[in-house]
Amino acid sequence: MPLKLKHTLNRDYLKVEILGERTAGMEVAESKAIWKEISELVNRKQKTRVLALMKVQGRLPINSAFQIAESAKNLGWSQNYKLAVVAGSEAVLMNIRLSEMIMTNLGYEMKLFGSARMARKWLLSD
- Tell me the pLDDT tens digit for each residue of 14-27: 999 999 999 999 99
Count of domains in the chain? 1
Crossing angle of helices 90-105 and 62-70, in 10° steps, is 40
**pLDDT value at 91 more than 80:** no
Residue span of the structural domain in which 43 resides: 4-124
Between residues 90 and 85, which one has the greater pLDDT?
A: 85
- Tell me the pLDDT tens digit for each residue of 61-86: 888 988 999 999 999 999 999 999 99
CA distance 37 to 76: 9
pLDDT band at 100 (very low <50, low <70, confident <90, very high): very high
Closest C-alpha to 94, from 67, 126, 54, 122: 54
**pLDDT value at 97 more than 80:** yes
In CATH, what number is assigned to the domain containing residue 98?
3.30.750.24
- Tell me the pLDDT tens digit for each residue of 24-74: 999 999 999 999 999 999 999 999 999 999 999 888 888 898 899 999 999
**pLDDT value at 1 more than 70:** no
DSSP category for residue 71:
T
User: For residue 77, what pLDDT is reported?
Assistant: 95
Do 77 and 108 contact (CB within 8 A), yes or no?
yes
pLDDT band at 95 (very low <50, low <70, confident <90, very high): confident
Predicted model pTM: 0.93
